[in-house]
């Protein structure tokens, strides 16, 4: 099957499949990430067939009873709790999935680890590196499996990019260039939300979008040695949006820039903003090496632009657009005939399948899945960029 190209039915019988085990899932939060994760738990048993275990959606925790009850019904959870402590104490829950805001990551994840649950927590793992370290210590002490939801590692084109780099197809890596640009708070009348408060979010776009490209830098190129950073807040006061006419203070960054020197000698730039008018979810990565380059654009996630110095006659040298949808491309044999593209939500199917396989079959989550180690390291790098910005762009060494 792996080498089959063109039309494949994906409906082949896989033979003697016995009874499938199940794994009890308890989820915190039912909004954006809750929906993305619930969608993936529902899909993964039949798309990633045969699944290592069928997710049993035990309960969702939220604070508002009628809303969490409706979410449980909508996403197919058996029940709900209005306090995450009840969820963590539920013996049916084997995997705790934390899709809450950043200030609801540490305490519930640490409690879940102490209760012996395996955990996946959304990024950024903690609001600071110190908080992320407490979470890492807790899961390591408990000996549970732990994943940090850096889902872009599970885009087929990103996994393919990593394979190309590992195979040496790009040669020695010189440059990593990443931007992650959105526009959703550019309007000054956009109200205060938890993402704009340091107390809730830890940082602004740095920990939100920056953490993703920091993780991809580590995944694709390697460990950073040092960073220089600049953070900027463009709009400091915003309406509370509660009808009171009052405003609240934005105490996190709206945009950041960083220079990175990697341990392997490569250099990089990172930039993220929520003020990039016209940009929706523009995550673009370019990597240049001695033998070639690649470009990835999240809004074209089935594609990878690849240039190889010695591919073909010089008259046609340049970037080729590769549709990463062949059955021999990463993850693809589970999906559709080539060219029948997949979307952003399917990265979560791959991610949660990988996690459940690791739990059920006692496999490591790293190097392809991100763990709390990766969540902690991304937080160290975020803190270093913030420190550099406070010190007028001074170079800050990365020490884990």
Ligand X SMILES: NC(=O)c1ccc[n+]([C@@H]2O[C@H](COP(=O)([O-])OP(=O)(O)OC[C@H]3O[C@@H](n4cnc5c(N)ncnc54)[C@H](O)[C@@H]3O)[C@@H](O)[C@H]2O)c1
From 57-65, 89-97, 158-166, 281-289, give the range in contact with ligand X by CB under 6 A: 57-65
Write each residue from 10 to 29 as x if it is in contact with ligand X (CB under 6 A), else as -, in one continuous string: ------------------xx
Whole-number minimum distance, CB 266 to ligand X, in Å? 25
Q: Is 386 in the site for ligand X (CB under 6 A)?
A: no
Say if strands 118-121 and 95-98 run parallel, antiparallel, or are unpaired.
parallel
Q: Is 208 in the site for ligand X (CB under 6 A)?
A: yes
Whole-number minimum distance, CB 291 to ligand X, in Å? 31
Q: Is 31 in the site for ligand X (CB under 6 A)?
A: yes
Q: Which residue blocks in the chain are alpha helix, DSSP H?
A: 32-47, 65-75, 84-89, 106-114, 129-142, 156-167, 198-201, 205, 211-220, 346-360, 372-390
The answer to whether the Cα torsion of 155, 157, 161, 164 is positive or negative is: positive
Question: To which residue do tokens 């006692």 refer?
Answer: 362
Q: Which of 101, 126, 202, 289 binds ligand X (CB under 6 A)?
A: 101
Q: Look up residue 275 and give its two tokens.
A: 């003020």
From 47-55, 61-69, 138-146, 252-260, give the range in contact with ligand X by CB under 6 A: 61-69
Using the minimum distance from each CB to ligand X, give the nearer residue, 123 or 145. 123
C-alpha 159/C-alpha 331 separation (Å) is 9
Using the minimum distance from each CB to ligand X, give the nearer residue, 305 or 345. 345
Q: Which of 97, 122, 215, 253 binds ligand X (CB under 6 A)?
A: 122
Contact status, residue 394 vs residue 185, Cβ threshold 8 Å: no
Using the minimum distance from each CB to ligand X, give the nearer residue, 30 or 75. 30
C-alpha 64/C-alpha 99 separation (Å) is 16
C-alpha 261/C-alpha 397 separation (Å) is 9
Q: How far apart are the first and last CA of the chain?
A: 42
From 5-13, 97-105, 175-183, 223-231, give the range in contact with ligand X by CB under 6 A: 97-105
C-alpha 351/C-alpha 29 separation (Å) is 18
Q: Which of 63, 73, 85, 280 binds ligand X (CB under 6 A)?
A: 63
Q: Is 149 in the site for ligand X (CB under 6 A)?
A: yes
Q: Which spans of this chain sit near ligand X (rule: CB under 6 A)?
A: 28-34, 61-63, 84, 99-102, 104, 122-123, 149, 151, 208
């Amino acid at each position: 099957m792996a080498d089959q190209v063109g039309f494949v039915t994906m409906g082949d019988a896989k033979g003697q499949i016995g009874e499938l085990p199940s794994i009890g899932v308890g989820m915190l939060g039912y909004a954006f990430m809750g929906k993305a994760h619930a969608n993936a738990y529902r899909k993964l048993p039949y798309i990633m067939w045969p699944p290592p275990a069928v997710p049993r959606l035990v309960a969702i925790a939220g604070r508002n009873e009628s809303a969490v009850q409706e979410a449980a019904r909508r996403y197919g959870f058996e029940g709900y709790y209005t306090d995450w402590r009840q969820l963590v104490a539920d013996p049916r829950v084997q995997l705790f999935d934390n899709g809450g805001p950043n200030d609801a990551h540490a305490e519930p994840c640490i409690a879940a680890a102490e209760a012996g649950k395996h955990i996946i927590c959304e990024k950024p793992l903690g609001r600071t590196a110190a908080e992320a370290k407490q979470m890492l210590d807790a899961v390591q002490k408990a000996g549970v499996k732990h994943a940090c939801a850096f889902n872009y590692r599970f885009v087929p084109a990103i996994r393919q990019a990593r394979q190309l780099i590992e195979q040496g197809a790009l040669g020695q890596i010189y440059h990593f260039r990443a931007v992650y640009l959105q526009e959703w708070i550019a309007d000054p009348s956009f109200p205060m939300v938890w993402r704009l408060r340091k107390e809730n979010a830890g940082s602004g776009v740095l920990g939100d979008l920056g953490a993703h490209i920091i993780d991809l830098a580590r995944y694709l190129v390697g460990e950073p040695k040092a960073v220089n950073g600049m953070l900027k807040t463009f709009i400091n006061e915003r309406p509370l949006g509660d009808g009171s006419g009052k405003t609240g203070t934005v105490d996190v960054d709206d945009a950041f820039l960083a220079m990175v020197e990697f341990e392997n000698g490569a250099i990089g730039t990172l930039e993220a903003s929520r003020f990039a008018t016209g940009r929706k979810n523009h995550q673009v990565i370019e990597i240049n090496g001695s033998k070639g380059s690649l470009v990835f654009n999240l809004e074209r996630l089935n594609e990878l632009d690849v240039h190889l110095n010695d591919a073909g006659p010089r008259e046609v040298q340049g970037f080729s657009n590769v549709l990463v949808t062949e059955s021999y491309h990463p993850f693809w044999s589970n999906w559709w005939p080539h060219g029948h593209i997949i979307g952003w939500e399917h990265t979560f199917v791959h991610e949660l399948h990988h996690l459940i396989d690791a739990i059920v079959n006692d496999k490591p989550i790293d190097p392809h899945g991100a763990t709390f180690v990766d969540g902690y390291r991304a937080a160290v790098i975020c803190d270093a960029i913030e420190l550099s910005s406070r010190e007028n762009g001074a170079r800050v060494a990365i020490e884990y």
